[in-house]
Structures are given as C-alpha cells and as structure tokens.
Chains A and B, each alone.
Chain A
Amino acid sequence: MVLGFAAAAIAMLIALIPAGIVLYRGDLAAAVVAFEFITAVIVMVLALLAQAFQRPSLFELPVLLAMLMFGSGLVFVRAMERWL
C-alpha cells in the first residue's frame, strides 16, 4: 500500500464533512452545489485509493464517476430549475 495516497484519500474524506453539513442543513440550491462538490472530490478519492492499493482495475471507477458526474449534475440542476 502506498501510504501517502491512502492518507490523502482519508484526509479528503474528512474534508467532505463540511460539505455534508451543507448538503444536510442547507437549502435546496446549496445542497445541489454541495452535491457537485462532493462528487468531484469522490472522483479524486477513488483515484487515490486505486493508487494506494495498487489495483489498476480500480482506476475505471474514477473515470466512470467523472463521466456520470456531468449527467447527474445536469439532471439535478434541470430538476431544480423546472420542478423543485
């Protein structure tokens, strides 16, 4: 295991706590912004963990999530604009 990458992944997960608070306690608009923030950070966390555990196959996950982030973000934004 590569310790630096694992430590960075854990630190980033801890740094998500403020965003989680905004997601839980903020209004709808702030929650959507927090969702985008969390998704972007999770992409990095997945890449860091794949590198930390030396599993090349796990590098598919951040690529997939980065692709899905665009679609899911637009779905939430559109729903917020039109219906919520």
Chain B
Amino acid sequence: MAREVLCDVLLGLAVVTVAGAALGLLLMRDAYQKLHFVTPAALVAPVLVTLAVLVRMGLTENTGETCLALLFLVIAGPYLSHATMRALRVREKGDWRPGGNGKASAEEKEA
C-alpha cells in the first residue's frame, strides 16, 4: 500500500513538472527563455518516472530498461541544449563567440 502511494506521488510530481514546463514553454518570449523549460521535462521528470517504476516493480528488467532510457536522456539533454543555444546564437550573430566579428568564416562554417 505504501509503495503504491509513493509511486502515485512520484508520478504526480512528474506530471506537475511536465505541465509546468509546458506552460513555461508556451509563455516565455523567445527561444532562449523557452529552452530553459526543456530541462525539467528532459531531466527531472524522467528521474521521477524511473523512481516510480523502481518503487512499483523493484529491480526488474523493466526498471533496468527505464534506467537505460533515463541514462540516454541525461546524456543527450545537456548536449542538445548547448547545441541549440549555439545554433540560435549563430543564426542571430553569425558567430557563437562573444568576441566574434559577427561573421563566421567559411572554414568555420565548414568545420
């Protein structure tokens, strides 16, 4: 009984996290601000879901595969956020570096 309650609480927290992040995504002005709300949905909520599966099922194959999905999300999330931020800056300024001259060279674009 206690495990089911704990599992439901974890799932509820995950849903609240995703719903809040979705609202933030909708309400923020530009893509830079919106990008901040991807992290709770891509990192915090998956941890909560994995914990819920762990609490419900114990150490089983299902839990292991959920942990594997969580691992991929945890690795991919920061890389994707960084790459997205970099791409947005390149689109706006022509160069991602703060001291850049505003135009990336052809070699840099090829790299």
Q: Give the interface of A toward B (CB within 8 A).
A: 2, 4-5, 7-8, 11-12, 15-19, 21-22, 26-27, 29-30, 32-34, 36-37, 40-41, 43-44, 47-48, 50-51, 56, 59-60, 62-63, 65-67, 69-70, 73-74, 77-78, 80-82
Mark each residue of chain B from 35 to 66: 1 if its CB lies under 8 Å from any CB of chain A, else 0: 10110011001100110110011000110011
User: Do residues A30 and B31 form an inter-chain contact, with CB atoms below 8 A?
Assistant: yes
User: Do residues A33 and B35 form an inter-chain contact, with CB atoms below 8 A?
Assistant: yes
**A50-B62, A59-B66 given; A34·B23 CB < 8 A:** no
B residues less than 8 Å from A82 (CB atoms): 109
A selection of 9 A-B contacts at a CB cut-off of 8 Å is A8-B12, A12-B14, A36-B38, A40-B46, A56-B62, A59-B69, A63-B69, A73-B76, A81-B91
User: Do residues A15 and B15 form an inter-chain contact, with CB atoms below 8 A?
Assistant: yes
User: Do residues B31 and A77 form an inter-chain contact, with CB atoms below 8 A?
Assistant: no
Whose C-beta in chain A lies nearest to the C-beta of B92? A29
A5, A11, A19, A62: the one within 8 Å of B26 (CB): A19
